[in-house]
Amino acid sequence: MVINDVINHTPENLSITEKTAKIDATGMYYKDLNSLLRSLDANGIENIEIHNVYGQRYIGTDLDNHINIDIYGTPGNDLGSFMKGTNITVHGNAQDGCGNTMDHGKIVVHGRAGDLVGHSMRGGKIFIRDDAGYRVGIHMKEYLGKRPSIVIGGTAQDFLGEYMAGGVLVVLGLNMKEKVHNARFVGTGMHGGTMYIRGDVRHLGEEVAVAELNDDDYNILGSLVDEFCSYYGLDAEKILQSKFNKIFPVSSRPYGNLYAY
């Protein structure tokens, strides 16, 4: 394998041991970094560590193979967009658009994330240890039997689950002093999928309702919380003892009357 013949990189930026590669991304242009990742993927690398990441965007975009990427630093927007099977772990915070239109795979963030987490996500899982920004799960959908999932350990901002069409969105509120989420317009335009919120929500959109969880809900929630806690060393049983609310859409066509004659 001669990676440096495939991409123009100095030896100091890249080291390879068997099927593991380490990249020093200091000062690297995002296009060069992503081109290098695709070359490593195509050459059979299974594990990649990227150090000194400072805002390079599109990391992991459109990677197809089941490789593992560990990111040390703060990746830029659209981390893992259009991703098809890669597992990404961020040892820090993530910016906007994490998991944008993600098909399958997994993103685990050991920090917080910005706006638009899981935008139009149609498969895979995203786990955020701390808070997330606005419009988490917007246009999230189920696609060809795939059921995407997002778990937020802290809380999220306004328009959580906006226009959500499928999948599962969990907000645990582990860092809240009160048991009320202050996000406004939660579930606005939601017409599919389910949200499980630990604690109460101050302001819901008109298109959703609240119910208690049934046995099937607890099975789904329990599995996701167990996995979430396995990444962050938390106690799933303790979290699941708290009150959760199920938020679901009241109509599959909430705005249908706006277009009907």
Using DSSP's 3-state secondary structure scheme, residue 218 falls into: helix
Question: Residue 250: how many CA atoms within 13 Å on its side-chain side?
Answer: 11
- The DSSP secondary-structure symbol of 257 reads G
- This prediction has a pTM of 0.93
| Per-residue model confidence (pLDDT) at position 258 | 62
Rounded Cα distance, 233 and 5, in Å: 42
| Per-residue model confidence (pLDDT) at position 143 | 84
Number of neighbouring beta carbons within 10 Å of residue 179: 11
φ, ψ dihedrals at 100, nearest 5°:
-55, 120
Which residue, 119, 166, 163, is CA-closest to 142?
Answer: 166
pLDDT beneath 50: ranges in the chain? 1-2, 4-7, 9-10
| Per-residue model confidence (pLDDT) at position 3 | 52
**Are 112 and 93 in contact, with CB atoms under 8 Å apart?**
yes
**Domain 112-258 homologous superfamily, CATH:** Glutamate synthase, alpha subunit, C-terminal domain (2.160.20.60)
Rounded Cα distance, 249 and 9, in Å: 51
Give the long-range contacts of residues 26-31, CB within 8 A, separation 24 or more.
26/51, 26/52, 26/54, 28/56, 29/56, 30/56, 30/57, 30/58, 30/59, 30/76
| pLDDT tens digits for range 103-136 | 999 999 999 999 999 999 999 999 999 999 999 9
> What residue segments make up the domains of the chain, in order of their start?
112-258
Give the long-range contacts of residues 105-111, CB within 8 A, separation 24 or more.
105/66, 105/80, 107/79, 107/80, 107/83, 108/231, 110/231, 110/232
CA distances from 62 to 103, 150, 190 (A): 9, 19, 27
Q: Which residues pair with 86 in a beta bridge?
A: none
